[in-house]
Amino acid sequence: MRNAFVRELTALAAADPSVMLLTGDLGFTVLENFRDTFPNQYLNAGVAEQNMIGVATGLAMSGRRVFVYSIIPFVTFRCFEHIRNDICYHNVNVCVTGVGSGYSYGHMGSTHHALEDIATLRSLPNMSVICPGDPLETAAAVRAIGKHHGPCYLRLGKAGEKNIHPGDVTLTIGRALTLREGKDITLISTGNMLETAAQAADLLAQKGISVRHVSMHTVKPIDAEAVASAAKDTRLIVTVEEHSRIGGLGSAVAETLSEWNLRIPHILCSAPDAFATTVGSQGFFRKAAGLTPEAIAEKVLATNK
Interaxial angle between packed helices 293-304 and 194-206, expressed in degrees from 0 to 180 and rounded to the nearest 10: 50
Say if residues 188 and 239 touch (Cβ distance below 8 Å): yes
Residue 174 backbone dihedrals phi, psi, to 5 degrees:
90, 0
CA angle (205, 192, 33) in 5-degree steps: 140
Residues with a catalytic annotation lie at: 49
Q: What one-character-per-residue DSSP string does 178-195 give?
A: EEE--SSEEEEE-GGGHH
Rg (CA), the chain: 19
- In angstroms, the CA 209 to CA 211 distance is 6
Classify residue 253 as exposed, middle or buried by CB count within 10 Å of its CB (0-12, 13-18, 19+). buried
Residue 304 backbone dihedrals phi, psi, to 5 degrees:
-80, -5
- In angstroms, the CA 133 to CA 111 distance is 23
Say if residues 87 and 22 touch (Cβ distance below 8 Å): no
H-helix or E-strand spanning residue 3: helix 2-15
Categorise residue 267: left if φ over 0, alpha if ψ from -120 to 50, beta otherwise: beta
Residue 149 backbone dihedrals phi, psi, to 5 degrees:
-100, 125
- In angstroms, the CA 253 to CA 188 distance is 9
Q: Residue 114: beta bridge partners? A: 102
